[in-house]
Amino acid sequence: MVQAPAIQLHGVTKRYPGVVANKDVELTVETAEVHAVVGENGAGKSTLMKIIYGMVRPDAGDITIDGKPAHFRTPKDAIDAGIGMVHQHFMLADNFTVLENVVLGSEPRSGLEIDFRGATERIRQLGETYGLRLDPHQKVETLSVGERQRVEIIKVLYRGAKILILDEPTAVLVPQEVTELFESIRDLKEQGHTIVFISHKLDEVLSIADRITVMRDGRTVGTTTPAEVDARQLAEMMIGSELPSPHTKEATVQDVVLLEVSDLSLMSDTGRPLLQGISFVVHKGEIVGIAGVEGNGQAQLVDSIIGLAPGATGEIALSGTSITELSTRDRRSAGIGLIPEDRHRQGLLLSAPLWENAALGHQNKEPYAKGLWIDKKGARAQTEEIVRRFDVMTPNVDVPATALSGGNQQKLVVGREIMANPMVLIAAQPTRGIDIGAQAAVWEELKSARAAGMGILLISADLEELIGLSDAIHVLFEGRLVAKLDPAQITPEILGSHMTGAGEEKAS
Amino acid sequence: MKSGKLLTSVVAPLIAIIIAFGLAALALLLVDINPITAYKEMFVFGTSTESLIITVNNALPLFVSALAVGIGFKMGLFNIGIEGTYLIAALFAAYIGAQFSITPVLHVTAILLVAVAVGAFWAWIPAMLKVKRGVHEVIATIMLNYIAFALSAYLFLNVFKAESSSLTIATDLIPETGWIPSLNPVLGWFGIEARAGANLYGFLIIAIFLGIGYHYLVNKSRYGYDLRSSGVNAAAAHASGVDPKRMIVRTMLISGGLAGLVGIAPLLGFYHQYPQDFPRNFGFNGIAVALLGRNHPVGMAFGALLFGFMQRSSLILDLKDVPKEIVTIIQGIVVLAVVIVYEVISRYVQRRVVAAAARATEAEHATVEVAA
C-alpha cells in the first residue's frame, strides 16, 4: 500500500482584510522527504506555515496529515498530530539552561517532581541520533546562534514531532553552521522525519531539498526537483521575471575621505567590551561594507557613529571635522544619514502618517520645517516626491506607515535618507525582509548615490549584497575589525569563514 | 479617513458616556432610586443659567489641568503631580500677588508669571530626578504631591497666612488690580442675565488661548513633532536626533507651568486670596479629563465641561435624598469606558485603514500590470 503523504493541502485560501495571503494553495509533502517551500517575502509562505501549524485557520480548503483530515485550532492540536515548528526568531528563555528550555511547557513528571534526569538522557540521545550536539546544562545565553537553533529543533523533537517545519532556518547562520544544520536535516530524514524547509536562499534549497514548491503572490505556482531546475530558473519562477543583481563594478571611489573613524571603543554597562579599537575610512563615492555574524557589534558601531552610544571613546570625523562631541541631531545636520537595521524599531512611526515618517530625522530642516514650525505643505510635497521617485506603493501620503507592506516601508526610509543627500549614509541591513523587486530598487538607489559621490557604510547580513555592492569589506568579529577584504577577490564562503573568526586565526 | 476620525473622536466618548450613565443607573436601582428621576433632576437643575455658568467655572481648572497632563501623555510622560503643583503655585501666586498693586493687566500678568514659574520649578524636580537618576516620573510626582501638600500647609500656616483678624484663615487679600474680572457684563450683551453669585470667570479667555496655544505647540511646531514622535516610538525619535533627556525636561517644565495655572481661575476670579480650604482634586480629575479628551484640546474642553456639569448638577441630588457620590461613580466609569471603547474603535479603524491602503495599492498594481 502506498503511504499517505505527510501533509496534503488542497485549495487552501486565507484572506486578510484587503489582501489574499493564500489562494488555492496545493501542496503535497511525502513522508520522509525534505520539501522546500520557496518564494519572495510576502508570497504567502509564512501564512501557509501558520495554517499548517494551527496558528491561523484557513477560510477554505482541506488539510490532511498522514492521510487524516486535520482541523487545527491551536498549535497544540498540530503538536499532538506530530507537527513541530522551528521559528525564524527563536523563542528561548536566555537565562534558562538547554534542558529547562527543552522541557518548558511539557515538563516530564515523576510524581510531583520534574524528571530532569530522564529528560537529560533523552536530550543526549536525540543529540547523538541527529548530530545536534548540546550540553543540556549550559545556559542558553552562552550559546551561539547555531546552537540555539539546535535547542529549538531538539525542543520539537522532544515533543515527538515527526513533521518539522523550519522557517528560514539559515537566515541567521554562517555558512559553516549551515553545513552542520544540513547534516542534521539529512539524519532526521533518514530516521523517517519529514522536513518542510522554508527559504528564499535558492542555492541552499537546491542542495538540501528533495522537492521544491514555489509560491508567488499567495499561490503555489508549481513543484519541481533540484534535478530539473537551477537557481536562476527557480528564482524566475519565484518572481515571474528576470533577476536583479547587486553587482556594481565601475569604480567611483575618490581620494577625499568623508568619514574617518579612529580607535572607536565601547563598553557595555557590565564592562564587557562591545567595540574595540575600530578604525576605518569611507571615501567619497565609496561603499564600505561591514560583514559579521549578527551580534558582533554592528548595532553598537552604528549607534556610536550616529551618536546614540554615549559611552563610546575614540574619534569620528566627517569630512575632516570632528563630530565626536556632537549630538545625534547635530551629526545628522552635519551630513550623516541613517537607514536603521530595524525599521520598525528605529526608523518609523508606524501609527503616524507617511509624511510625518518622511520627516523623521529631518524634522528640523527644510522642506519639512520652517523656523520653529513643521511645514506640513512642504513635508507632504517632499513625501510625494519620495513616493514617486522610489516607487512606494501607497494610496496617498496621509495613510499611517503601518498600512504599507514591509518593502514599501523600507523604500520610504531609504528614500527619505537618500533624498536628504547626506555626505555619508549608514545603511544597516537596507534590504532586510523586503522582496526581490524592492531589493533591486534599493540597490539601484545606493549605486546611484555612490556614483553621485555619497560615502556609504553598508552593514549587511546578506553576503551576496556585501560582496556585490562594496568597494571594500571589513569583517567585524567580537567587536573588532579582524580583516579587510577586497570584494573582487572573495566568495561568500571565504567571507563566512572570516566572520566566524577562523580567518583571523589563519592569518596570525 | 474622515469617518475614522469621527468614529474615534466623537462616537467613542459618546458610547463611553452612555455606558457610564447606564451602569450608574443600575447602581441607583440597587439602592432603590429611580435613575430616570435622578437624571432628570440633575438635568433640569444643571441647565439653569447659573448652573451653566458654574459648570464653565468648574471646567476651567480641570481643562488647564488636563492640558498639563495631556502634553506629557503625548510623549508617554506621566505627570501625576499636577495636584501638588497647582496648590503650591496658587499659594505663592496669592501671597506674592497680595504684596503689591500695579496697573490691572500688569498685576494679573505678574501673578500668572509667578504661578507658572513656581509650577515649572515644582515639575523640574521630578524631571531632574528622571534625567539624572532614572527615577520614574510617576513615583517622583506622586511622592512630590505629598511633599507639596505638607509644604503648602506649613508655609500657609507659618509664613503666608494673614495676620488680620478676619473670620476666614487665608492669605492677605490681593488688591483689586490683581483680580480677573467676571465676564458677566459680556453675557449681558447677549441678553443673558445671571443672578448674583454666578460670575463667569474671566479666566475663560486665558483658558481658550491656552487651548489654542497647546494645539499649535503639540500639532504644528517642531517641538510638538519631537514630542509626538517620542510618544509613538521613543527609539525612532532618539535615532532621528531627538534628545530624550532634553525632551523630558522641556516637557515637564511646560506641564508644570500649565499646572501652575490650574488654581488661577478660582483664585483670581473668586477667592482673591488663598483660603485654608482652597479647592482640591483638580489635579487628579484633570488626569481623567485628559484621558476622556484623548489629549486633544477640544476633547479635553468637552471632558472638562462634562465633569464640571456633573459636579454642579450633583448638588441637587442631596436635596432629593439621592447620594451624590453616584456622580463620582459615573465619572469613574466614563474614564474606564472611554479608554476601553476608544481602544476597540481605534483597532477597528486601524484595520479599515490598512485594508483600504492594501486595496488601493492592489488596484494600482493591477493597472500597472494591464498597462504593461
Q: Are A17 and B355 in contact (CB under 8 A)?
A: yes
The answer to whether the Cβ–Cβ distance between A17 and B358 falls below 8 Å is yes
- Maximum distance among all alpha carbons in chain B? 93
Interface mutation vs chain A, best among B238, B343, B353, B361, most A CBs within 10 Å = B361
The answer to whether the Cβ–Cβ distance between B239 and A346 falls below 8 Å is yes
Contacts of B294 in chain A (CB under 8 A): none
Asked if residue B55 has pLDDT above 80, the reply is yes
Measure the CA–CA gap between A228 and B76, rounded to whole angstroms.
Answer: 57
Measure the CA–CA gap between A503 and A475, rounded to whole angstroms.
Answer: 10
Q: How would residue B6 be classed by pLDDT, with cut points 50, 70 and 90?
A: confident
Nearest CA in chain B to A395: B360
Range in A65-69, A222-226, A240-244 the model is least confident about: A240-244
Strands, E assignment, A335-454: 336-339, 369-370, 373-374, 424-428
- Which is more confident, A332 or B369? A332
- Which is more confident, B137 or A230? B137
Mean pLDDT score, A5-12: 89
Using the Cα atoms of residue A447, residue A451, residue A453 and residue A455 in order, give the sign of their dihedral: positive
Q: What is the DSSP pairing of strand A455-459 with strand A287-291?
A: parallel
Asked if residue B368 has pLDDT above 60, the reply is no
The answer to whether the Cβ–Cβ distance between A349 and B223 falls below 8 Å is no
Q: How would residue A506 be classed by pLDDT, with cut points 50, 70 and 90?
A: very low
Q: Are A85 and A75 in contact (CB under 8 A)?
A: yes
Range in A4-18, A338-352, A440-454, B198-212 the model is least confident about: A4-18
Residue B164 in contact with partner chain A when CB distance is under 8 A: no
Asked if residue B70 has pLDDT above 90, the reply is yes
Contacts of B242 in chain A (CB under 8 A): 328-329
Nearest CA in chain B to A357: B229
Question: Residue B369's pLDDT is what?
Answer: 38
Nearest CA in chain B to A370: B222
Residue B161 in contact with partner chain A when CB distance is under 8 A: no
Q: Are A274 and A480 in contact (CB under 8 A)?
A: no
Q: Looking at chain B from residue 237 to 276, which residues have their Cβ under 8 Å from any Cβ of chain A?
A: 237-243
Asked if residue A53 has pLDDT above 50, the reply is yes
Measure the CA–CA gap between A114 and A117, rounded to whole angstroms.
Answer: 9
Q: Which residue has the cell 503511504?
A: A3
Asked if residue A505 has pLDDT above 60, the reply is no
Residue A263 in contact with partner chain B when CB distance is under 8 A: no
Asked if residue A467 has pLDDT above 80, the reply is yes
Question: Residue A504's pLDDT is what?
Answer: 47
The residue among B57, B63, B110, B55 whose CA lies nearest residue B86 is B63
The structural domains of chain A, ordered by start, are 7-239 (3.40.50.300), 257-507 (3.40.50.300)
- Within 8 A by CB and 6+ apart from B368, the residues are none
Contacts of B355 in chain A (CB under 8 A): 16-19
Question: Residue B366's pLDDT is what?
Answer: 42
Contacts of B233 in chain A (CB under 8 A): 345, 348-350
Question: Residue B274's pLDDT is what?
Answer: 94
The answer to whether the Cβ–Cβ distance between B355 and A346 falls below 8 Å is no
Chain B: nearest CA to A269, how far in angstroms? 15
Contacts of B223 in chain A (CB under 8 A): 372
Using the Cα atoms of residue B18, residue B24, residue B30 and residue B35 in order, give the sign of their dihedral: negative
Nearest CA in chain A to B223: A372
Question: Residue B345's pLDDT is what?
Answer: 85
What ranges do the domains of chain B cover? 1-31+324-372, 59-322
Contacts of B220 in chain A (CB under 8 A): 373-374, 376
Q: Which residue has the cell 550540553?
A: A135
Question: Helix crossing, A436-451 with A406-419: angle to 10°?
Answer: 10
Question: Residue A94's pLDDT is what?
Answer: 81
Q: Which three cell numbers stand for residue A195?
A: 522536513
Residue B134 in contact with partner chain A when CB distance is under 8 A: no
Condensed to tens digits (0 to 9), the pLDDT of residues B302-345 reads: 999 999 999 999 888 888 888 888 888 888 888 888 888 888 88
Q: Which three cell numbers stand for residue A150?
A: 539546535
Question: Residue B331's pLDDT is what?
Answer: 84
Mean pLDDT in chain B? 89
Mean pLDDT score, A21-49: 85
Q: How would residue B1 be classed by pLDDT, with cut points 50, 70 and 90?
A: very low
Query: What phi and psi values does residue B295 have, to the nearest 5 degrees?
Result: 60, 10
Three-state DSSP at B187 gives helix
Question: Residue A319's pLDDT is what?
Answer: 92
Residue A348 in contact with partner chain B when CB distance is under 8 A: yes
The most confident of the ranges A21-25, A156-160, A475-479, B93-97 is: B93-97
Question: Which value does ipTM take for this structure?
Answer: 0.84
Nearest CA in chain A to B230: A349
Three-state DSSP at A46 gives helix
The answer to whether the Cβ–Cβ distance between B232 and A352 falls below 8 Å is yes
Residue B350 in contact with partner chain A when CB distance is under 8 A: yes
Asked if residue A507 has pLDDT above 50, the reply is no
Helix boundaries (H) for chain B: 2-6, 12-30, 35-46, 49-73, 82-97, 104-133, 137-155, 184-189, 203-219, 222-232, 234-239, 244-260, 264-266, 282-292, 297-313, 315-319, 325-371
Question: Residue B236's pLDDT is what?
Answer: 94
The residue among A479, A485, A480 whose CA lies nearest residue A467 is A485
Contacts of B222 in chain A (CB under 8 A): 363-364, 369, 372-374
Contacts of B215 in chain A (CB under 8 A): none
Mean pLDDT score, B245-267: 96
DSSP structure string for A184-195:
HHHHHHHTT-EE
B2 CB neighbour count, 10 Å cutoff: 6
The CATH number assigned to the domain with range B59-322 reads: 1.10.3470
Mean pLDDT score, A272-297: 90
In a 13 Å sphere around the CA of A379, the CA atoms on its Cβ side amount to: 25
- Within 8 A by CB and 6+ apart from B236, the residues are A340, A345, A346, A347, A348, A349, A360, B229
Measure the CA–CA gap between B372 and B368, rounded to whole angstroms.
Answer: 6
Question: Residue B4's pLDDT is what?
Answer: 64
- Which is more confident, A207 or B67? B67
**Percent of chain A at pLDDT exceeding 70:** 93
Question: Residue A42's pLDDT is what?
Answer: 66
Chain A: nearest CA to B8, how far in angstroms? 14
**Percent of chain A at pLDDT exceeding 90:** 33
Q: How would residue B66 be classed by pLDDT, with cut points 50, 70 and 90?
A: very high
The residue among A332, A308, A347 whose CA lies nearest residue A434 is A347
B14 CB neighbour count, 10 Å cutoff: 11
The answer to whether the Cβ–Cβ distance between B239 and A340 falls below 8 Å is yes
- Which is more confident, A254 or A424? A424
Contacts of A374 in chain B (CB under 8 A): 220-222, 224-225
- Which is more confident, A22 or B255? B255
Condensed to tens digits (0 to 9), the pLDDT of residues B280-309 reads: 999 999 999 998 888 999 999 999 999 999
Measure the CA–CA gap between A177 and A166, rounded to whole angstroms.
Answer: 15
| CB pairs A-B closer than 8 Å | 121
